[in-house]
Amino acid sequence: MSKAIEILEKNKIKPSFIRIKILEYLMNTKTHPTAHEIYEQLKKEIPTLSKTSVYLNLNLFLKKKIIVDLKTKEEQRFDFIQYEHINFYCRICKKVFDLPIVNYIKENDIKVDEFMVEKINIYLEGVCKDCGKP
């Protein structure tokens, strides 16, 4: 299974052909493309692609925090998030935050006493930045 399908399913998004293509494009592109650039590139491969569908899916990916957008004065650019989010639980307001933590420990990368680590679940608990203000 492709990494894009895996990410979509993990985020409970139906992995349609167009969604897989958009996500794979963002995963393989380092130029932070605009929606228009994504549309122009993918249209070569998918002639039936509509601009609306590109916009709708980008917004869906944004909402699910699979991608990020970088807004400049003139335009909105998109990028695939290269790191995992981990949950941070604030013991004061009881809210759960997504913290972007760089993947410094890679799965399948470390051995602990001959035990192969295949999955890492990190759960953080503490005081969020709002509750931590004096």
Contact residues for Zn ion (CB under 5 A)? Answer: 90, 92-93, 128, 131
Q: Which residue has the tokens 């985020």?
A: 11
In terms of CB distance, is 50 or 87 closer to Zn ion?
87
In terms of CB distance, is 38 or 128 closer to Zn ion?
128
Q: Least distance from C-beta 93 to Zn ion, angstroms? A: 3
One DSSP character per residue, 39-88 reads HHHHHTT-TT--HHHHHHHHHHHHHTTSEEEEE-SS-EEEEE--SEEEEE
Q: Confirm if 79 and 22 have CB atoms less than 8 A apart.
A: no
Q: Least distance from C-beta 99 to Zn ion, angstroms? A: 13
Q: Least distance from C-beta 122 to Zn ion, angstroms? A: 19
In terms of CB distance, is 92 or 110 closer to Zn ion?
92
Q: Measure the CA–CA gap between 126 and 94, rounded to whole angstroms.
A: 10
